[in-house]
Amino acid sequence: MEDFYREHILDHYRHPRNQGTLEDADISCEQDNPVCGDVVRLDVRLSEGRVSEVRFSGRGCVISMASASMLTEEILDKTVEELRALQDEDVFEMLGITLGPVRAKCGLLPLRVLQGGLARLGET
Amino acid sequence: MNTKKRLDPIALRADFPVLAREVHGQPLAYLDNAASSQKPRAVIEVLEEFYRAHYANIHRGVHTLSEEATAAYEEARDKVAAFIHAPHRNGVIFTRNTTEAINLVAYAWGRTHVGSGDRIVVTEMEHHSNLVPWQLLAREVGAELAHVSVTDEGRLDLESLDQLLQGRVKLVAFTHVSNVLGTVNPAQEIIARAHAAGARVLVDAAQSVPHLPVDAEALDCDFLAFSGHKMCGPTGIGVLYGRPELLEEMPPFLTGGGMIGRVGQAEATWADLPWKFEAGTPAIAEAVGLGAAVDYLSAVGMEPVWAHEQELVTYALERLAEMPGVHVIGSPAGKRCGVVAFTVQSIHPHDLAQALDWEGVAIRAGFHCAQPLHKRLGLEATARASFYLYNTREEIDRLVEGIQKAQGWF
């Protein structure tokens, strides 16, 4: 089981980075996983086109929460274009483990939330 | 009680090839039977034999293979009819699964019998498959969808049923056994009350037909739906039992080949029951496989299956009750099947299921297709262990040990 719940994943789960919410964020989005009810919310503040501050909140399993925590570190300082370019593979690489089709939904939930927020950013 | 036939799970395990495999270096303990059951060699071999020696399309060909395939398919219908004590074989319709069976009723019966201002009654413990089709029907025809309450102990509140039955109730659709709580609902009682109020009744029997003796005639229900894959049969084959007189007056559900009488350029007539509801080439081999599953379960006996699962669930509830941080959903008292949903403090069910998989123990985690029930009980996702005839007390011990290990790990 150590191969799956690797130390860095458990570390992010036990000591989440950038947890919380931001008032008046430029990108705010929340989504759930209908299979299990896990919820992730991301608040992103932009400054000169780059992510200057980011917070995540929500509840879920080790994989979805660790993925959210890692994603906040990953996207800090990135431009909106760089955020838009993020792929599923980037998340898998970040987690460093192979996820089956069911657990992939847990791991990808934070990225889906970010993508949902970015889509709305494009509308305004 | 002692004179009753008991089943020997160790002997039965030898009939299920998959149970011999290992998962992550551990023997497989398959405790996800409410999602789907494993298949005995008898079913696997019948499927193979059918494809090897007897396969052709049915009901049309005037050649040996087609006649053999037709006979095997129709023989499977007779076996299923006998298994559930269906008064008429014509009322046994092969569908893909429970979901399709319920949709058949929602479309073909619902859209001709339920109108604006009518009420459809379901319960708060339905699987999505016995809820969403009625939501759509209610929205489409302007009917009201009402829900029988579930008590905190996880039982149906029959007083709330009685209240809901005072009105223009056209249908009561309820699950015989809850796929989350394991609660066995008092089906006969509910059906009698619904009939007294002039409503028709559909029983979602997906979790009952595989686990306890079900007698459609004694139940006196109008429709009964279940799936083959949860009762040792193949996927892709399910059953709708309906009262033939109701099925007779219903328009077809899916249309096309196989279900017609005469076809002209502008109109067509329908085939007789049950074929009127079996449009297109059906799941022939799967139906034959379901027949073999019915033979298998009949040889074991459904009373012994029920009794064995009672032993297992009683033992599981005892063991889980001893565990700090483990919370079982629903009341252990009362009539319940071999399904136990639970939560473990500060371990998400997904992580628990993943940790147990590492020990070779397969359980389910999530909402189990019953989101409204979870919401009613104030629950997030839960973990669920569900048993069948081939499970043992030793596997429940491994579940308990796996939970303890996960508690130490996370």
CA angle B259, B131, A104 (to 5 degrees): 100
For residue B347, give Cα distances in angstroms to B332, B350, B373.
Answer: 22, 8, 21
pLDDT of residue A4: 79
Chain B positions in Cβ-Cβ contact with residue A63 (cut-off 8 Å): 350-351
pLDDT attached to residue B1: 44
Within chain B, all domains assigned CATH 3.40.640.10 are found at 45-299
Domain B9-30+301-409 adopts which CATH fold?
Aspartate Aminotransferase, domain 1 (3.90.1150)
* Start and end residues for every CATH 3.90.1150.10 domain found in chain B: 9-30+301-409
B chain contacts of residue A103, beta-carbon cutoff 8 Å? 350, 354
pLDDT of residue B2: 44
Place of tokens 């889906």: A112
Chain A residues touching B381 at Cβ < 8 A: 36-38
CA distance A106 to B239: 34
What does the pLDDT average to over A91-114?
Answer: 93
Which one-letter amino acid corresponds to residue B331?
S
Active site residue B337: no
Q: For residue A37, list chain B residues with Cβ-Cβ distance below 8 A.
A: 367, 371, 374, 380-381
DSSP assignment of B368-398: TT-HHHHHHTT---EEEEE--TT--HHHHHH
Which residue range is the domain that position A74 belongs to?
A: 7-123
Identify the pLDDT of residue B355.
96
- State the pLDDT confidence band at B333, using cuts at 50, 70 and 90: confident
User: CB distance B351–A63 less than 8 Å?
Assistant: yes
The answer to whether A38 contacts B381, with C-beta atoms less than 8 Å apart, is: yes
- Strands of the sheet containing B339-344, edge to edge, are B326-328, B339-344, B382-386, B364-366
B355 and A1: CB-CB below 8 Å?
A: yes
A15: in domain: yes
Render B194-234 in DSSP notation, one character per residue: HHHTT-EEEEE-TTTTTTS---HHHHT-SEEEEESGGGTS-
Judged by CB atoms closer than 8 Å, whether chains meet at A36 and B381 is answered as yes
Please say if the pLDDT value at position B4 is more than 80. Answer: no
- Is residue A62 in some structural domain? yes
Q: Would residue A1 count as lying in a domain?
A: no
Q: Do B351 and A38 touch (CB under 8 A)?
A: no
Q: Bigger pLDDT: A103 or B398?
A: B398
- Would you say B187 and B201 are in contact if contact means Cβ atoms under 8 Å apart? no
Full-model pTM: 0.94
With the C-alpha atoms ordered B113, B115, B117, B123, is the resulting torsion angle positive or negative? positive
pLDDT at position B180 over 60: yes
Looking at residue B5, what is its pLDDT?
A: 81
Average pLDDT over residues B230-246: 98
- Partner residue opposite B350 with nearest CB, options A1, A34, A36: A36
pLDDT in tens, A23-71: 999 999 999 988 888 999 999 999 999 999 999 999 999 999 999 999 9
For residue A2, being part of any structural domain is answered with no
A36 closest CB neighbour out of B354, B358, B365: B365
Catalytic residue among B221, B232, B337, B369: B369
pLDDT tens digits for B264-320?
888 899 999 999 999 999 999 999 999 999 999 999 999 999 999 999 999 999 999
Considering only alpha carbons, which residue of chain A is nearest residue B356? A1
The whole-angstrom separation of Cα A98 and Cα B278 is 42
What is the dotted CATH code of the domain comprising B45-299?
Answer: 3.40.640.10
Whether residue A39 lies within 8 A of chain B, CB to CB, comes out as no
A1 contacts in chain B (CB < 8 Å): 354-355, 358, 409
Whether A87 is covered by a domain: the verdict is yes
Nearest to B181 by CA among B37, B400, B385: B385
Q: Exposed, middle or buried, B167 (CB in 10 Å: 0-12/13-18/19+)? A: middle
Question: Which pLDDT tens digit goes with each residue over A69-91?
Answer: 999 999 999 999 999 999 999 99
Residue B331: both structure tokens together: 């009341």
The residue to which tokens 């083959």 are assigned: B228
Q: Which of A37, A63, A103 sits opposite B381 (nearest CB)?
A: A37
Give the CB-side neighbour count of residue A9, counting CA atoms within 13 A.
23
Mean pLDDT of chain B: 96
Reduced to 3 states, what is the DSSP secondary structure of residue B115? coil
Provide the domain count of chain A.
1
For the stretch B58-103, pLDDT in tens is: 988 789 999 999 999 999 999 999 999 999 999 999 999 999 999 9
Mean of the pLDDT values across residues B371-380? 92
- Cβ of B358 within 8 Å of Cβ of A1? The answer is yes
Domain of A57, CATH number, reads: 3.90.1010.10
- Pairs of CB atoms within 8 A across A/B: 46
What percent of chain B is predicted at pLDDT more than 70? 99
Interchain pair A106, B367: CB under 8 A: no
